[in-house]
């Protein structure tokens, strides 16, 4: 994923932040021990959110440990592992793996090919654990690539293509009482991530002649407003589904991510652009 689904620094209490961090450490630890050390290439806070969400919903018990790790060998710190950790680790590997496959195919990226070699073993393991989910991720990303290759102008189709992948991942049990709400949450969140990635990379994609779903929209005078509108609609759907769930544990952290944290990158980009524009207009 793309580093958008996170907490804003200072947004929650120190205690809450430590807990959030502990789930992240637990994820890292699970990747290393369960899937091989190179799989921690895929480590991100985004999937940590999903772990905490599923843990809050299903409350299947948490294992806490004090660990040392390679990047932080001097201090012991807390790691929390729960039932969702292994699942989310596998899903993240699958997502990264198939994304890299597509990068190799489309952009012939050498970096991607190298990264793939590292992830091969980890992906094999993930696929043996969750074959159906991995297949769904593969199909979903394939479909998205196809749409992008055809220069698809239907922004809903593009957004939902990625959103549906997230919907599949987040609905841990496909058919329980909360599956529809989790799918809706995933659809909105995934759609937002897709839009944010497109928004952030717009200039770079233009320069390099790469596909960007916002190309048509960018020609409008109200581009910024429209983008904000769409992303708000997507988070609106995500939040509505979130509020349907009977969550209690860590609800403050999860809400902070959904209502505030996801906009951090967006705010940084907007502030930088305004500053650049102001500088230019004063020259």
Partner 1 sequence: MNDPYKVLGVSPNASDDEVKRAYRQLAKKYHPDANPGDRHAEQRMKEINAAYDAIINKKTTAGQSAYGGYGGGYGSYGGYRSGRAGYESGDNSYVEAALNYIAYRRYAEALNVLQNVPTSEKNARWYYASALANAGMNNRVTAKQQAERAVSMDPTNPDYRDLLDRLNNPSATYSRQRGTYSTSVNPTSICFGLCLCSLISRLCCRGGCYRGW
Q: Which residues bind partner 1 (CB under 8 A)?
A: 8, 10-11, 59, 154-157, 159-160, 163, 167, 177-181, 183-184, 187, 229-230, 232-237, 239-241, 243-244, 246-248, 256, 259-260, 263, 267, 270-271, 274-275, 277-278, 281-282
Per the CB < 8 A criterion, the answer to whether 261 and 7 are in contact is yes
Would you say 119 or 214 has its CB closer to partner 1?
214
Handedness of CA 167, 160, 93, 16 (dihedral sign): negative
Question: Minimum distance from CB of 151 to partner 1 (Å)?
Answer: 18
Task: For residue 4, give the nearest of 268, 264, 202, 273 by alpha carbon.
Answer: 264
What's the longest Cα–Cα distance across the chain?
A: 60
Would you say 42 or 256 has its CB closer to partner 1?
256
Question: Minimum distance from CB of 275 to partner 1 (Å)?
Answer: 8
What residues pair up with 81 in beta bridges, in sequence order?
Answer: 63
Would you say 145 or 241 has its CB closer to partner 1?
241
Backbone phi and psi for residue 224, each to the nearest 5 degrees, phi listed first: -60, -45
Q: How many CA atoms lie less than 13 Å away from 200 in the CB half-sphere?
A: 16
DSSP state of 12: S
Per the CB < 8 A criterion, the answer to whether 122 and 100 are in contact is no
Q: Which residue has the tokens 């040392």?
A: 68
Would you say 208 or 225 has its CB closer to partner 1?
225
Supply 143's token pair: 């479909």
Rounded CA separation 205/210 (Å): 5
Rounded CA separation 93/276 (Å): 38
* DSSP-assigned states of every residue in 213-262: TTHHHHTSTTHHHHHHHHHHHHHHHHHHHHHHS---TTHHHHHHHHHTGG
Would you say 27 or 235 has its CB closer to partner 1?
235
Would you say 66 or 271 has its CB closer to partner 1?
271
Question: Minimum distance from CB of 178 to partner 1 (Å)?
Answer: 7
Supply 166's token pair: 């997230």
Q: Which residue has the tokens 């999937």?
A: 47
Question: Minimum distance from CB of 66 to partner 1 (Å)?
Answer: 29
Question: Minimum distance from CB of 32 to partner 1 (Å)?
Answer: 31
Question: Minimum distance from CB of 200 to partner 1 (Å)?
Answer: 15
Would you say 119 or 167 has its CB closer to partner 1?
167
Question: Minimum distance from CB of 247 to partner 1 (Å)?
Answer: 7
Would you say 106 or 260 has its CB closer to partner 1?
260
Question: Minimum distance from CB of 161 to partner 1 (Å)?
Answer: 11
What residues pair up with 44 in beta bridges, in sequence order?
Answer: none
């Amino acid at each position: 994923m793309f580093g958008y689904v996170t907490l804003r620094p200072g947004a929650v209490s120190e205690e809450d932040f430590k807990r959030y961090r502990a789930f992240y450490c637990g994820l890292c630890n699970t990747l290393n021990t369960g899937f091989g050390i190179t799989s921690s290439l895929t480590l991100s806070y985004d999937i940590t959110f999903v772990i905490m969400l599923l843990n809050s919903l299903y409350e299947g018990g948490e294992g806490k440990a004090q660990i040392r790790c390679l990047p932080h060998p001097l201090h012991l710190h807390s790691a929390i592992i729960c039932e969702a950790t292994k699942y989310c680790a596998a899903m993240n590997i699958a997502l990264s793996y198939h994304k890299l496959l597509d990068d190799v195919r489309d952009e012939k990226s050498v970096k991607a090919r190298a990264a793939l070699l590292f992830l091969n073993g980890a992906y094999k393991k993930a696929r043996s654990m969750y074959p159906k989910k991995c297949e769904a991720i593969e199909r979903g990303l394939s479909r998205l690539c196809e749409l992008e290759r055809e220069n698809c102008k239907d922004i809903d189709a593009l957004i939902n293509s990625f959103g549906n992948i997230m919907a599949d991942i987040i609905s841990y049990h496909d058919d329980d009482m909360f599956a529809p709400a989790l799918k809706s949450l995933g659809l909105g969140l995934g759609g937002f991530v897709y839009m944010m990635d497109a928004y952030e990379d717009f200039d770079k994609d233009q320069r390099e002649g790469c596909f960007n779903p916002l190309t048509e929209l960018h020609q409008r005078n109200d581009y910024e407003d429209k983008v904000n509108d769409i992303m708000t609609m997507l988070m609106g759907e995500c939040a509505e589904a979130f509020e349907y769930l009977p969550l209690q544990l860590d609800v403050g952290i999860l809400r902070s991510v959904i209502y505030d944290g996801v906009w951090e990158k967006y705010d940084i980009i907007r502030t930088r652009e305004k500053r650049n524009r102001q500088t230019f207009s004063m020259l």
